Amino acid sequence: MKYTQYFIHTRKRPDRAYIKDEWIEQVINNPVRSEIQSDGRIKKWAKIEDAGKYLRVILLEDGETVHNAFFDGNFREEVT
């Protein structure tokens, strides 16, 4: 995986240090929702069963470079 310098820096925070690369890959490859932001970045969410929470991953416009990843306490999966 490719990362921005911002992600490398913020990943050192205690609330983000335990986020595993495999979880990030899971979100990228199997999101329950994806959205494109106005700046072209891509937001993806998936539930991480091991953590019992939804992880949000922000990718750059290339769809490959991870810019941010964090557990999103406000995310609710839409029921259809």
Residue ranges covered by each domain of the chain: 2-71
* pLDDT exceeds cutoff 90 at 80: no
Calculate the average pLDDT of the chain.
Answer: 94
Q: Which of 36, 60, 56, 52 lies closest to 44 in space, CA to CA?
A: 56
CA distance 32 to 1: 20
Task: Look at the pTM and tell me if it is higher than 0.75.
Answer: yes
pLDDT of residue 76: 85
Q: Give the pLDDT confidence of 20-43 residue by residue, as tens digits.
A: 999 999 999 999 999 999 999 999
